[in-house]
Amino acid sequence: MFPGTLGQALAGKALEKKLWNLHTINIRDFASGVHKSVDDTPYGGGAGMVLRADVVGKAIESLPKIPLYYMSPRGEPFTQKMAKEFAKTDSIGLLCGRYEGLDERVLTHYNIKEISIGDYVLSGGEIASQVVLDAILRLRKGVMGKMTSLDQESFENNLLEYPQYTRPAEWKKLTVPEVLLSGHHKKIDAWRKKESEKITQKNRPDLWDKQN
């Protein structure tokens, strides 16, 4: 599953240049027995299987001491602010769950913080971890083309990004706003700010409330 899309485009080129590194751990390598089982039925009953503390613990202890985070729908929502904080660190560890989740004692013993990418459930934490990594990597120096292009993206200053247009100037009888063709940068900046505010207020009132 890794590096997945992170092995493509700008992130992939940066990986080839060793501007960032990815080290994956298969917890099954730390399981014992003929079947290399990594899960078991939950205490107290219920559907599904739970990842075993002893197996996951061995996998974690094979790593150097780095901040660990568990991808979980019950975790703290992942934000752009969090991505910026992670981008400043040398390394982090992302633990990907499967089945019904992970033995709670692992989170307690290793003081692992839980992170969520949204209010929905995935089959596992792998895709979620790639989302987090993508958000982090594009903030690392040398990965993206122009770092200045990041300053006006969605969630910067709690505003969603303004609409974007390119050639042709007319398409299916739809035209580009005249102000963008004017060459008047102050008017363009004012239009973009106004559009960002309108879109944020309409689509994300929770973010808009933070403006006031």
pLDDT tens for each residue of 85-116: 999 999 999 999 988 899 999 999 999 999 99
Claim to verify: residue 119 and residue 163 sit in the same structural domain: no
Claim to verify: residue 107 and residue 13 sit in the same structural domain: yes
- Average pLDDT of the chain is 93
pTM of the predicted model, to two decimals?
0.88
Domain count, the chain: 2
Single out the residue in 137, 165, 186 at which a domain terminates.
137
The answer to whether residue 143 sits within a structural domain is no
| Cα distance between residue 161 and residue 54, in whole Å | 46
Look at residue 17 and tell me whether its pLDDT is greater than 70: yes
Torsion angle in degrees (nearest 10) through CA of 102, 42, 2, 56: 60
Single out the residue in 82, 113, 137 at which a domain terminates.
137
Range of the domain at 71: 4-137
Claim to verify: residue 116 and residue 170 sit in the same structural domain: no
pLDDT tens for each residue of 150-173: 555 677 778 999 999 999 999 999
The answer to whether residue 145 sits within a structural domain is no
Per the listing, tokens 């992942």 go with: 78
